[in-house]
Chain A
């Protein structure tokens, strides 16, 4: 196959996937809108509940002001047209631009997700390799138990236990937030102390996954001919494992990275709640409780776009790394 032909096929593949993303996002927008709007309750009645002397006219006035008195399909079209121009409306609660409010939280969640991702790789990969190299030993068993626990322990429970142990009892780490009150925002050691527990809890499932994948892949690679050849050539064990075997075993891990970051951002809700981490998840959760439609819709679309884009990147990575993936 000529190189320029392969490039063209890849370009067409990316273009096609981008076009496919449009109906996907429209579908997500319809589902998001329907779920948010058809769930019971009304935001105006909610935030005026118990307000002394509030009248039916007041409620109607506010419903009209926020466009909630229009038929739902019309509200959806209004929202969609505005969204295309990146206008997600104003928060009912904060009276500020919903997207701007969301974007102020994004760096917080990204910090958490990136550190969690790093922990997944830094802990998960060596554990998988060690388990493969020490196959059948007590260490392999311990890593297996750790892996099962990583999947089985609910994040909210583990988070609370870690807070009780390391923050309340031992006072080694803070129990909540991103930064000690009064500390400079660039105080990195303080930030590190705050991010350790939530990032660990968020990364645990990933650590378990990576250690399992790496163990299987490493064992698979170690049994292949080129590794046996390397051994036969008299190469040092460490060189065989880290230069030859690990590099090949890591391919499925690297290609899976694209989807994982988006999954971490979307999945940080529980961890953010437990550790009072002011991220996208916690913000969206509070907005959902308050029926702050513009914020909930903006947040859902943001995470959806992130997922679609990251899956697209993953597919592209697959297509580049593994030519067997059909691009034509």
Chain B
């Protein structure tokens, strides 16, 4: 062997050893420590400057609130346009943000007064006209999916277009229910056609839009596509939020710069970058290397993250839940029509063990539609459905399902109890849940199997009432008002024969539940107080808890990870960025 060959071999060996050591020894750090909260860092000297880089797995679609229908766009829009109200970060109750509000005694008129300091980045004040511009834009747009949020505003259906679609008539040139105060441009009121408890948050769906920018797309002669394809939708020019749009490198990052004229005070940081990465693993890696300032990580990465001493982890319950929906009308899994069978399926699955197996314990068992962080979460006692195999077997027996010679349950007609649990492929968590659930139901004598399929196809099957689905695992996000009408009112049960679509794909209907939902949404006595609505939702949740059209599964924890240098970062279930102007970077 020549000297040169020896040298090459030594170099290769050193490189290989370095790689081995590097992969084997990840830096050990302290176990999760709480991030610095506003209270904790209030006494510290706030430092100006720096850049926040949030990791996300989705690019934004638009910066036009009227067209936005995705979480990523919503995040950036909330950073550049402030809203009238804000939901309390912890319990979701509506509170003043850019405007204070009051409701008339008949519950039909909402009066708003914008903060005197609220202004646009070009120096103009934010006025009631800008709210009107936003509502007119919803009415004008052909591509928005927000029209139904404003349909109870007096005169909106007469104004909105195109005529003949939905409730739009396009017969009026103005919205009669919105009145601007001629003496004070900061004041305006909105009159509703009926008492609607979700209205206050519905009216807050779209942030006030700068009339000086969008007014030209809302004239009598302008067309819907003028607004829908306006260049300002992708490159906005005037802002009311804590940041100003600077650049959108598509598929890569959105760069926002500090709005020095922000009405609540200029943010402490210079820039906010919304960085798009490919997947959750890339967010985890970016947080470890410091390329990202904050982001959410999946439960499977939590233990790994806890070894990184440069980050802090905050946990809070998500505003949603993952569930198994039973098709109570299934012609093949006929057992699902029986309440006792559905209850047996709740007792027959050890959800606590499932949570440990599927999401490493980072979730809370859920018992009804509303989750614990919502004010509508029931305070009345609900059946806990603790794992009880014997009880499950007894309920199945009571419902007429007894083990056959092969151990599989059969009914009096000799039909075997088979059950296919579908879920969206590619979602590892749900695929595991489907498999674990199928395994546990097999222990009850049910011929259960998991079937992953493309989410795109699954959605169509669910909303059109495709009866080939027997059980489905998906999840709901519950942002906005607590009103469950779209999911649980009987009018939203899809009916393929009548071509009716909806999200009530379990086929479960209950007149008492309908009444509770209607009273919680449009109360006959006009009482939209939290206490009055909560009473209705207690009834509603109790019915669901007892009838089990879903196994209500669990509500995940959000694992928000941030560099320890990020101060005042205090995310909660309803919002992450509500106090973003107060965040600062410790150098």
The minimal Cβ–Cβ distance linking B486 to chain A, given in whole angstroms, is 5
- Residues on B with C-beta less than 8 A from A178 are 252
A160 to B499, CA, bound (A): 47
- Quick check: is B359 within 8 A (CB to CB) of the other chain? no
- Residues on A with C-beta less than 8 A from B162 are 61
A48 touches B69 (CB 8 A): yes
B271's closest neighbor in chain A, by CB? A182
A165 touches B22 (CB 8 A): yes
The minimal Cβ–Cβ distance linking A155 to chain B, given in whole angstroms, is 13
A164 touches B23 (CB 8 A): yes
Q: Residue-by-residue, is B283-299 near A (CB-CB < 8 Å gives 1, otherwise 0)?
A: 00110110100000000
- Quick check: is A12 within 8 A (CB to CB) of the other chain? no
B62 touches A95 (CB 8 A): yes
Q: Residue-by-residue, is B261-295 near A (CB-CB < 8 Å gives 1, otherwise 0)?
A: 00000000001010111110110011011010000
Name the interface size band of chain A. 35 or more
A90 touches B229 (CB 8 A): yes
- Residues on A with C-beta less than 8 A from B483 are 52
The minimal Cβ–Cβ distance linking A193 to chain B, given in whole angstroms, is 12
With A58-B147, A59-B501, A177-B275 in contact, is A49–B250 under 8 Å at CB? no
Q: Which of B53, B198, B252, B476 has the most CB of A within 10 A?
A: B252
A65's closest neighbor in chain B, by CB? B142
Q: Residue-by-residue, is B223-236 near A (CB-CB < 8 Å gives 1, otherwise 0)?
A: 00000110001100
A-facing residues in B286-322 (Cβ within 8 Å): 286, 288-289, 291
B477's closest neighbor in chain A, by CB? A50
Q: Residue-by-residue, is A41-75 near B (CB-CB < 8 Å gives 1, otherwise 0)?
A: 11001111111111111111110110000000000
A40 to B481, CA, bound (A): 32
- Quick check: is A167 within 8 A (CB to CB) of the other chain? yes
- Residues on A with C-beta less than 8 A from B250 are 101, 104-105, 278
With A54-B148, A175-B289, A181-B53 in contact, is A169–B278 under 8 Å at CB? no
With A165-B22, A181-B53, A282-B278 in contact, is A95–B233 under 8 Å at CB? yes
- Quick check: is B61 within 8 A (CB to CB) of the other chain? yes
- Residues on A with C-beta less than 8 A from B289 are 167-168, 171, 174-175
Q: Residue-by-residue, is A244-287 near B (CB-CB < 8 Å gives 1, otherwise 0)?
A: 00000000000000000000000000001111101100110010
B285's closest neighbor in chain A, by CB? A175
- Quick check: is A96 within 8 A (CB to CB) of the other chain? yes
Stretch at the interface among B39-47, B186-194, B452-460: B452-460
- Quick check: is B330 within 8 A (CB to CB) of the other chain? no
With A176-B282, A177-B275 in contact, is A105–B251 under 8 Å at CB? yes
B52's closest neighbor in chain A, by CB? A181
With A175-B285, A176-B278 in contact, is A55–B166 under 8 Å at CB? yes
- Quick check: is A39 within 8 A (CB to CB) of the other chain? yes
B252 touches A168 (CB 8 A): no
A-facing residues in B168-192 (Cβ within 8 Å): none
- Residues on B with C-beta less than 8 A from A169 are 22-23, 25-26
With A47-B69, A95-B61, A174-B289 in contact, is A56–B278 under 8 Å at CB? no
- Residues on B with C-beta less than 8 A from A207 are none
Interface residues of A (CB under 8 A from B): 39-42, 45-62, 64-65, 90, 93-96, 101, 104-105, 108, 160-161, 163-165, 167-171, 174-178, 180-182, 272-276, 278-279, 282-283, 286, 289, 291
